[in-house]
Amino acid sequence: MHAIMLKAKLHRAEVTHAVLDYEGSCAIDGEWLDLSGIREYEQIQIYNVDNGERFTTYAIRGEEGSRMISVNGAAAHKAKVGDRVIICAYAHYSEAELLNFKPRMLYMAPGNELSHTSNAIAVQVA
């Protein structure tokens, strides 16, 4: 049996570019790809915190250290510069892999500064 689980997340990153006339994708700072485990050309889901849009595209490598989040092609209609987004990647895991499963999550501060990383989401309290 397999389960689809959250593999990686960039939480509340700011869109730095929205380029309509670029081949569709989302360019992400290469350092963040490496830290999160998101691979170049991997399918990602983007959730726009500011306008509620949710869409699928794929990751491409942005310049290391650039703090870049560039939403490209048709997806540029769904996010504008300055929007806060949550970028998620999901993967299939076997029951054996789930025994030690932990997602990789990067939390962003204003200005796309990396605030901290985590492997768990805190329990939501009532």
Q: Which of 58, 90, 93, 107 is catalytic?
A: 58
**pLDDT at site 23:** 82
Q: Is 25 assigned a catalytic role?
A: yes
List of residues 6+ apart from 46 with CB closer than 8 A: 26, 53, 54, 55, 56, 57, 71, 75, 78, 79, 85, 86, 87, 88
Is residue 112 domain-resident? yes
**pLDDT at site 1:** 75
How many domains is the chain built from? Answer: 1
Give me the CATH number covering residue 68: 2.40.40.20
In this prediction, residue 38 has a pLDDT band, given cuts at 50, 70 and 90, of very high
CA-to-CA distance for 67 and 96, rounded, in angstroms?
35
Is residue 78 domain-resident? yes
**pLDDT at site 2:** 87
Residue 72: both structure tokens together = 């490209």
Q: Is 91 annotated as a binding residue?
A: no
Q: Is 57 annotated as a binding residue?
A: yes
Is residue 126 domain-resident? no
Is residue 59 domain-resident? yes
**pLDDT at site 74:** 94
Is residue 123 domain-resident? no
Is residue 38 domain-resident? yes
Rg (CA), the chain: 14
Q: What is the pTM of this model?
A: 0.95
Residues 61-92: tens digit of each pLDDT: 999 999 999 999 999 999 999 999 999 999 99
Domain range holding 28?
Answer: 2-118
Q: Is 73 annotated as a binding residue?
A: yes
Distance of CA 45 to the CA centre of its chain: 7
Q: Is 93 assigned a catalytic role?
A: no
At which residue do the structure tokens 């054996």 appear? 96
Is residue 124 domain-resident? no
CA-to-CA distance for 65 and 11, rounded, in angstroms?
17
Between β-strands 104-109 and 2-14, what pairing exists: parallel, antiparallel or unpaired?
parallel
CA nearest 101: which of 93, 89, 110? 93
Is residue 45 domain-resident? yes
Q: Is 65 annotated as a binding residue?
A: no
